[in-house]
Chains A and B, each alone.
Chain A
Amino acid sequence: MQLPILSILVFFPVLGILLLLFLDRKNHKVLKGATFVIAVLEFLFSLPLWFGFDSRTAAMQFVERYHWLPQYGISYYVGLDGFSLLLVLLTTFLTPLCVLATWEDIQTRVKEFMICLLFLMSGMIGVFVSLDLFLFYVFWEVMLIPMYLLIGVWGNPARRVYAAIKFFLYTMFGSLLMLVAILVLYFYHGKVTGTYTFDLLKMYGLNIPFHMQFWMFLAFGLAFAIKVPMFPFHTWLPDAHTEAPTVGSVILAAVLLKMGTYGFLRFNMPLFPQAAYYFVPLFSILALIGIIYGALVSMVQKDLKRLIAFSSVSHLGFVMLGLFTFNVQGVQGGLIQMINHGLSTGALFLIVGMIYERRHTRMIADFGGLSTPMPVYATIFMIVTLSSIGLPGLNGFVGEFLILLGTFKVNKLYATLGATGVIFAACYMLWMFQRVMFGEVTNEKNKNLKDLSAREIAIFVPLLLFIVWIGVYPSTFLNKTEATTANFCTLMAKAKETTVAFDTQHTAFTTQHSALKTQNSKGVAR
């Protein structure tokens, strides 16, 4: 009997919440310490996933399945493959660091904050491991509540409520349309195969007529594109990031945004492959606009957090560009870039959070010459900045290089345009760094800033370790995702071939579908 590792990972934080409920709300040290221990334990529990993961197969591993609502074909069905493995580990890896980062930052309502954090953790892992559409949807929505509270309660007093509501409504808008699409898919699957189920893997095998794929791809895609966020749907992101507390921004950037890209990979593309091919130009162009637009807007930001938020739009544009190549390099690059963005941008938000704790401002203009009073801080900031730009030898390079390689194979123009994003990234990041860190100390208040404490350095050490590791020897991670990616690309290629034959079959599908429709309306009339 195998240990139900995934269920432990999903529900252990909930147990942690129950523990926290019984702790004294006034004793902040104990609350934070307990949460830290829970988060570290969670990370340790997740390690067997890494070591026990069989990287030769694309099949789901660590599968658990229990009936939940069998009358409806709903089950508690979780599993892990190359796509989700790294994301789950990223989540469990970052959460203890986040708890450490709250040590000085969060001083009010600590108990509630920690409860939200653990609740969020449970929801995030749930999203990445669900293989049942209903279960996935439940986790996807549940996770909104703690994030909304994190932004709204502990955020920046001026605009936090606005940002929290905007975040919630925006995300909800997309996911509700996805719910309708899930239902349509469910009933279509039921009608065609005779078994009504929300089992994702069974849905993969479905041959859906194109006009249905078209709409369902858009409905799912909207939910995920908002989460990513892709270019026209990104406006919630700068607000949410800017107003959220540091840890909220870190988790939002590092994990929540990945749910969007993960959603495309797990749901949109395999479920609706023909539509996915059909939409390649649209989504690639939106991704490119995101890359360039995000970079250009970053350049003119005065607020450090907003700058990093817009840089996320740009980075996630790269990920989407890579995913929509449907070749091994592009998708692998996209996957590794998700992790990179989690590490680098997470670290950047932490860096900004630390300077904010000291100076209570995030305006670039308020800083300058910080490297003199804070040398350690400057060093770490430099490394992370370079990793975010994509300097060879650090993690960002690997992801962007693979993505551009994959894109080049498909469309040279896209690759060229995408590559400009790398240059822009260098511009805005280095310019920002120069204005904040170099030169004379112009502001009196900055003269006596304390450098990083041991706790703060301890947060960065593991992050920097992985930033370098991925940059120098990415194979450790790429190997884990390779089989799944290869399988995914083969399936997509197969689907593309059927696209050719598809137009002739299209009429057959439509007649079959309209037959179903009349049958259905007869059912109603009866």
Chain B
Amino acid sequence: MTIAIPTFNLSSIGPWLTLTVAAILILLLDALSPKGRKAYFPQLSLIALAVAALQTWWLWGQSGTDFARMVFLDNFAFYFYLIVILGTTLTVLISRHYLEEWGKNLGEYYALLLFATVGMMLMAASNHLIMLFLGLEIMSIAIYVLAGLFREDARSNEAALKYLVLGAFSSAFLLFGMAFLYGATGGNLFIGELAGKIKEALPLTKPLTLLGLALLLVGFGFKVASVPFHMWTPDVYEGAPTSITAFMSVGVKAAAFAAFARIMFAAFPAFVLEWHMLLWVLAVATMTIGNVVAIAQTNIKRMLAYSSIAHAGYLLVALVAANQLGAVSIIYYLLAYTLMNVGAFGVVILVGRKKDSYLNIYDYAGLGFQHPVLAAAMSVFMFALAGIPPTAGFVGKFYIFSAAVQAGYIWLAIIGVMNSLVSVFYYLRITVLMYMRPAEADLGPIAFTPGLVAALIITCAGTILVGVFPGWFYDLAVASVKIFPAL
């Protein structure tokens, strides 16, 4: 028996290969190098990420599939590669000093980070539901471990265990959903062909397809932290190392939304009425619960966790809109969110030094005049997350609500903007504390390490520049969503 090996082009998965090789290299070097000589892993990771970004740039503009139709080559995937690479780069930059404080600047941290990144890229690019699942698991398993990196810390353990158990549970839902679709489509799980197959067998298999769709929604809902699958988020975000929290909030969200959007837009346009209704409700619930509960938080990581739930809600609004602008706004918003949220977590790391001892929001009191530049950066991130111009956060929300209005969901847009109003309250509270309350205790010196400073400069400048000159990014996003003819 001969097995025909399909022809394929290695360069079409170049970024994945680079990162995988770099991750394995880091693991090997970690095992082989003498103790105490591990400082070069961050640099190595950064180089690998830069190469991967460059490879993505070379791939830009290609279209089609490769590896026996398993992998999509399109700008939509490439844009998400860039967002994920940006998120990982920023995470690496903010990690080193923080890990050293905990005595955990380990090689495997960077290796796992890179593996997770590969998983995210896989999710963004896979053309087959099983490939998608593989990507999801590569990403998730790496992050389960990373969340529990601080083994001696009880909260970190709790975070890892909770994420693992609930994550496995949700993966099972996802897989179960795929199984139903497998049945419904007669054994075809190619995302690009799903729509056609579903249509062919529609009268016969509608219930089966709907069931599969619903289960997929559960799985993705978990990964993007949408209500009612959000319960894990605050605990995991609080317990995980802060740098990993930043990574999860932007990377996992971007990857999950990439896959989510692709499946919804490419495979289920025939069921648009069904999933619209459902997602409408999910979006409203996610925004509202995320924002309202965030008001009550006093731990900044928990506050940002609920804020991240709320932002998932805004992104769901764009998904509900299901028009070209909606797809564009998802991409644009995730870019903006990556910049502003990692920036905010960078400040959290800087302030919460010495093993996370300053995580209460009241620890920020008086920061504005003790460390004016740091506080100014934090204000930029807070105003951006609240969606106030001239920041990227505002333009992102503007696109999302435009998409909703264009699709005729005016009430959804109104609920969305009212939610932004609620969110203004808790983001503003941070600025109130920083500028309008006297310091309760002297914060002492803050160690500005080069990595963190670089990350803050990139995110701060990015947040403002992407907001003031949105045109170029908009064009890129429009070029990326051309692949969805249904929009």
Contacts and interface: CB of A to CB of B under 8 A. Distances in A.
Interface of A: 68-72, 109, 112, 134, 137-138, 141-142, 144-145, 148-149, 152-153, 160-161, 164-165, 168-169, 172-173, 176-177, 179-180, 183-184, 186-187, 517, 520-521, 523-526
Given A141-B394, A187-B405, A149 B435 contact: yes
Given A180-B401, A183-B402, A183-B405, A137 B436 contact: no
Given A144-B388, A164-B432, A164-B436, A524 B383 contact: no
A165 to B, nearest CB: 6
10 contacts: A68-B471, A142-B390, A152-B435, A160-B436, A176-B420, A176-B421, A179-B398, A180-B405, A187-B402, A521-B408
Contacts of A70: 471
B323 interface: yes
A68 B390 CA distance: 13
A326 B204 CA distance: 65
B196 to A, nearest CB: 16
Interface in B449-486: 470-471, 474-475, 478, 486
Interface stretch (B28-36, B338-346, B353-361, B411-419): B411-419
B402 A186 contact: yes
A184 B407 CA distance: 11
Contacts of B369: 109
Contacts of B420: 176
B401 A183 contact: yes
B322 interface: yes
A526 to B, nearest CB: 7
B133 interface: no
Nearest to B471: A69
Interface string B322-341: 11000000000000000000
Given A70-B471, A176-B418, A520-B407, 5 more contacts: A168-B424, A186-B402, A187-B402, A520-B408, A523-B407
Interface string B297-324: 0000000000000000000000000110
B429 to A, nearest CB: 8
Given A161-B436, A168-B428, A180-B414, A517 B421 contact: no
Nearest to B467: A138
A165 B435 CA distance: 13
**Pairs of residues from A and B, 9 with the lowest C-beta to C-beta distance, nearest first:** A176-B417, A183-B405, A138-B389, A152-B436, A69-B471, A141-B389, A180-B413, A153-B435, A161-B436
Contacts of A521: 408
B232 interface: no
Contacts of B383: 145
B201 interface: no
A524 B421 contact: no
A71 B471 contact: yes
A141 B388 contact: yes
Contacts of A153: 368, 435-436
Nearest to A525: B272
Contact of B389 (A137, A149, A520): A137
Contacts of B269: 526
B154 interface: no
Contacts of B474: 69, 71-72
A172 B424 contact: yes
A340 B272 CA distance: 57
A161 B432 contact: yes
B425 interface: yes
Contacts of A526: 269, 486
A112 B375 CA distance: 12
Contacts of B406: 183, 187
Contacts of B389: 137-138, 141-142
Nearest to A517: B408
Contacts of A524: 272, 276, 322-323, 407-408
Contacts of A180: 401, 405, 410, 413-414, 417
B5 interface: no
Contacts of A148: 428
Contacts of B436: 152-153, 160-161, 164
B273 interface: yes
Contact of A169 (B405, B413, B424, B431): B424
A142 B437 CA distance: 23
Contacts of A168: 424, 428
Contacts of A173: 418, 421
B242 to A, nearest CB: 27
Contacts of A176: 417-418, 420-421
B246 to A, nearest CB: 25
Contacts of B402: 183, 186-187
A176 B401 CA distance: 11
Contacts of B407: 520, 523-524
B445 to A, nearest CB: 19
Contact of A177 (B272, B276, B368, B417): B417
Interface string B370-385: 0010000000000100
A526 B487 CA distance: 7
Contacts of B273: 525
Contacts of A134: 398
A523 B323 CA distance: 8
A138 B390 contact: yes
B251 to A, nearest CB: 28
A252 B410 CA distance: 33
A184 B408 contact: no
A517 B413 CA distance: 17
Nearest to A151: B436
B170 to A, nearest CB: 29
Given A71-B478, A526-B486, A184 B471 contact: no
A180 B390 CA distance: 18
A161 B383 CA distance: 17
A356 to B, nearest CB: 20
Given A142-B390, A153-B436, A165 B428 contact: yes
B375 to A, nearest CB: 10
B415 to A, nearest CB: 10
A442 B470 CA distance: 63
A278 B273 CA distance: 38
Given A70-B471, A524-B272, A177 B414 contact: yes
B394 to A, nearest CB: 7
A523 B437 CA distance: 52
B290 to A, nearest CB: 17
Contacts of B405: 180, 183-184, 186-187
B434 to A, nearest CB: 10
A186 B404 CA distance: 13
B461 to A, nearest CB: 15
Contacts of A138: 389-390, 394
Contacts of B428: 148, 165, 168
A523 B408 CA distance: 10
Nearest to A190: B406
Nearest to B429: A165
A475 to B, nearest CB: 40
A138 B469 CA distance: 13
B432 to A, nearest CB: 6
Contacts of A525: 272-273
Contacts of B437: 161
B425 A179 contact: no
Contacts of B276: 524
Contacts of A165: 425, 428, 432
A53 B396 CA distance: 38
B421 A172 contact: yes
A169 B425 contact: yes
A183 B413 contact: yes
Choose among B269, B406, B407, B474 the residue with the greatest number of A CB atoms under 10 Å from its CB. Answer: B406
A471 to B, nearest CB: 40
A159 to B, nearest CB: 11
Contacts of B394: 138, 141
A142 B391 CA distance: 10
Contacts of A145: 383, 388
